[in-house]
Structure 1
Amino acid sequence: MLVKSTSFKWAVFIGAVILMLLLMCASVIFGYTDTSWKTAIDAYTNYNGSNEHIIIQTVRVPRALIAAAVGASLAIAGTLMQTLTKNPLASPGIFGINAGAGFVVVAAITLFKVTDLQAFNGLAFLGAAVAAFCVYGIGSFGREGLTPMKLTLAGAAISAMFSSFTQGLLVINEAALEQVLFWLAGSVQGRKLETLGAVLPYIGIGWVGAVLITGKLNILSMGEDVAKGLGLHIGLVKMTIGILVILLAGGSVAVAGPIGFVGIVIPHITRTIIGIDHRWVIPLSGILGAVLLLAADIGARYLLMPSEVPVGVMTAIIGTPFFIYIARRGFNGR
């Protein structure tokens, strides 16, 4: 832990919020179409219908808000999962939750020609829930019960299964490939503000719920025996965490597709900076998750300009070395 005093923790938190706001502003300004701060302000104060103003209002601002919301949701979901499972590799991507949500959405598009936005949201939550229950059930089999290693293996198996099913559907229905390919890579490009508005109530519940149970997370992180001794209702807390993860991960996939590694990288960085107190870890993880996805999205615009790289590819580039480091360090380093 780099920061110990409360005053320095507040300074770190405020600094992270300022950085997030600056990156949101940068996301609105920078890209293939040349704009400026003045153009962005005029788009709302002195709108003239120009191409630049249309792009800022309909593309750049929604993109910045969606990237921030999705990044925060994935980071908080990863933190909750790592606390619940005592597994440093736990995240919606690694445990197959993103893949499950993505498979159900793709199945609806390719098999039933579903295009309704509200239907996407419900289907993404359904897929996330099914994947979560599968991983938890498989990981609980055996004499030793639920262990971090078994959860990781179960998550990898479920993720591979749903990914294979998704690819199989796209092979059967090649006409749907172009429609969903960019979405499957994970992207905030071209998403409308209405898309975020449709899932905001759900991920908002996830954000608030995660903050409200931070005290119980601190007790749970001491170990289940200690938590029971302190009167914590373990089953209720675990069920609450599971529901919050499904809301956060399912909502994120519904908006931006399956974006990986944010839920792994950010919780470890946050705990390294500020310690293990979830009253700080949960909100700071959310802010830093937004920072990471905003920065990755801005970088994705310039990597192969004028073409754009899906932001899910950028997070994979950033997160893969970190994942290897955590895996090599082992499960005793939490």
Structure 2
Amino acid sequence: MIRTLIFLVLALTLSCVASLHLGLRVYAPETVWSALNGGASTEEIIIRTLRVPRTIIGALTGAALAISGLLMQSVTRNPLAEPGLLGINAGAAFAVTVGLTVFALSSPLAIGALAVIGALIATALVFGFGLTLGPSGNTGPILLIGVTIAALLASLTQVMLLLDETALETLLFWLSGGFADRPLIMIWGGAIALPVALIACASMASGIDALRLDDQSAQGIGVGVTRIRLAALTLAALLAAAAVAMAGPVVFLGLIAPHIARRISDGSRGFFHLALITMLCGAVLAVLADILARLIVAPGEAPISAVLALVGAPFLMYLLRSRRAVAL
């Protein structure tokens, strides 16, 4: 466990260092070091004001989405659960679009608040419909419900943007997802949400571990299944909302990171240790994906969600095929 954490911390550190050096222009280590110490040349200002913030936002976004995905997968017992696939990102994006087009709310704080509201409403819709399906609503059908709601909200978002050209110009870049040129005040949302999430994960760890059993067995050992599930899903929605507020809708990170964490961790350690590993995996993946987004279409820059989809889509198909094989 300790070795895994040390390895991931080193990987995250190296990824962040690489993020400061690599891009359309590759900067020498001495230039980066001078920038971090207050250098005033053009290159040093670019590093300090552009690359440092996007690296921090990338790491925080990846960590938040990773823990969000882990919480969803754990309490629903569905390895395919993820904020993007279950419509939570789409709900946050739709709420932000409504706020801008209908109420002309465009401040960073308003965007953050709207993202939280939209994420919570989307979560309530998805899992509310899931509960109407009975016990099976916690497994396969919940994914179909989430994808359907995500598609509906995404369509409504596009319609609203097409009706308001000003909003389209304002939100088009944000809706594509990315870590560059984001309001720095949003960093505080992620910086506050992650420690709170880890504390909450520690307090809920024993209950979530018990949910590995069926609901009746968990209730039999004194676990409040409904309470734990509701608290975990609310926390997952809030983390996804913080990520959307910082970086816009980013998909597949919440799906991939928990599975990687499970494969490199000691499963006997319990949920909280898995949450720590998942958080670091998500941060590393996000920073590496951001570096790749700068390089693969240089001198342009690819949307971060497109880069993640290159890995996430095949991974999702692998998971779907694996579940089908188990079912057969």
| Structure 1 length-normalised TM | 0.92
| Cα distance, 1:192–1:28 mapped onto 2, change above 3 Å | farther
| Aligned equivalent of 2:145, options 137, 150, 154 | 154
1:109-148 superposed Cα distances (whole Å, 9 cap, x missing partner): 2222221111111100000000000001111114556331
Within-5 A mapping of 1:1-12:
9-12=1-4
| Cα distance, 1:312–1:142 mapped onto 2, change above 3 Å | closer
Distance across 2 between alignment mates of 1:224 and 1:332? 25
Partner of 2:22: 30
| Cα distance, 1:139–1:332 mapped onto 2, change above 3 Å | farther
For residue 199 of structure 1, report the CA deviation from its aligned partner: 4.4
Partner of 1:280: 273
Alignment RMSD (CA, Å): 1.8
- Between the two proteins, the alignment pairs up a number of residues equal to 325
Is 2:291 aligned against 1:310?
Answer: no
Question: Structure 1 segments of 4 or more deviating over 6 A?
Answer: none
Partner of 1:68: 59
* C-alpha contact (below 8 Å) 2:250/2:305 kept by paired residues: yes
| Cα distance, 1:235–1:331 mapped onto 2, change above 3 Å | farther
SS of the residue 1:243 aligns to? helix
Amino acid at match of 1:317: L
Within-5 A mapping of 1:288-327:
288-327=281-320
Distance across 2 between alignment mates of 1:213 and 1:225? 18
Amino acid at match of 1:50: S
Gaps of 5+ in 1: 1-8
Distance across 2 between alignment mates of 1:119 and 1:280? 34
SS of the residue 2:249 aligns to? coil
Distance across 2 between alignment mates of 1:214 and 1:301? 38
Is 2:170 aligned against 1:217?
Answer: no
Is 2:25 aligned against 1:59?
Answer: no
Distance across 2 between alignment mates of 1:162 and 1:282? 29
SS of the residue 2:35 aligns to? helix
- Over the matched positions of the two proteins, sequence identity in percent amounts to 34
Partner of 1:4: none
For residue 200 of structure 1, report the CA deviation from its aligned partner: 2.8
Partner of 1:202: 193
* C-alpha contact (below 8 Å) 2:108/2:183 kept by paired residues: no
| Structure 2 length-normalised TM | 0.94
Partner of 1:118: 109
Distance across 2 between alignment mates of 1:143 and 1:304? 47
* C-alpha contact (below 8 Å) 1:19/1:291 kept by paired residues: yes
* C-alpha contact (below 8 Å) 2:64/2:190 kept by paired residues: no
1:297-319 superposed Cα distances (whole Å, 9 cap, x missing partner): 00000111111111111111110
| Cα distance, 1:284–1:143 mapped onto 2, change above 3 Å | closer
For residue 331 of structure 1, report the CA deviation from its aligned partner: 6.5
Partner of 1:187: 178
